[in-house]
Amino acid sequence: MAIARPSYGPISSYSRVQILRLVQARPERSIQELHEATGLHANTIREHLQRLIEGGYVIASIEHRTTRGRPRTLYSAATGAPEASSPVAREKVTAAARRGDLLRRMLPSTAPGLARDATHQLDALVEHLEESGFEPVVDDAALTVDLTPCPHAAGRPEHRPVLCAVHLGLMQGVLTEAGGPLVADCVVAPERAEECTVRLRLAGELAGTAA
């Protein structure tokens, strides 16, 4: 029987997952909006947001006002797009590519059969997943990432769809930030709760159907 492992990183609490889902769904959220949507205390939300900013998953901006009043701080998901790129995330993907290149020079057999930019995307993705408590196994030929056993399998079943959606969004953000042809397509419908496989695809290919 698989032993559930603790999860770390940006999805280490469901409250943080809720906040991430909201900023992924629509950018430039205020503390007040997040409070109304989650019921969490404003100070708790600020603490979660600070952790997410430090992890490179959320960015903050100052509201542009045309009327009097103190501008609000607004929060958005760091999607990797030019207008929503996190300096922390940029440093992470750069460091991951550097470590990946070093490993491939030492062990040429570990090099995947992909172009250099796609290989660097996988470097960043694997490090992100490991940081989040997963043990990813990448099949660069089939373009799948096996995350079994899922560290969230023992959690509440009603939370699973949101967890999957949030982490798929985080994976896509990492791939976009790294730059290259790979995108996160969908989470393959599992037969057992502890099973999790994410399908990747090359940009431009027909997207799959998410579970």
Whole-angstrom Cα distance, residue 182 to residue 32? 36
Beta carbons within 10 angstroms of residue 33's beta carbon: 17
Q: For residue 2, is pLDDT > 90?
A: no
The residues, ordered by sequence, that sit 6+ positions from 183 with a Cβ below 8 Å of its Cβ are 172, 175, 176, 200, 201, 202, 203
Mean pLDDT of 154-180: 92
Who has greater pLDDT, 109 or 36?
A: 36
pTM of the model: 0.88
Confidence of residue 9 (pLDDT cuts 50, 70, 90): low
Token pair for 181: 């042809």
Mean pLDDT of 180-207: 88
- Domain assignments of the chain as residue spans, ordered by start: 9-77, 85-211
Q: What is the C-alpha R_g of the chain?
A: 18
Report whether CATH 1.10.10.10 matches the domain 9-77.
Answer: yes
Whole-angstrom Cα distance, residue 67 to residue 52? 30
Give the residue among 174, 130, 188 at the shortest CA–CA distance from 5: 130
**Structure confidence by residue, pLDDT tens digits, 87-124:** 999 999 999 999 999 999 998 877 778 899 999 999 99
| Burial (0-12, 13-18, 19+ Cβ within 10 Å), 190 | middle
In degrees, rounded to 5, the angle at the alpha carbon of residue 133 between the alpha carbons of residues 124 and 41 is 105
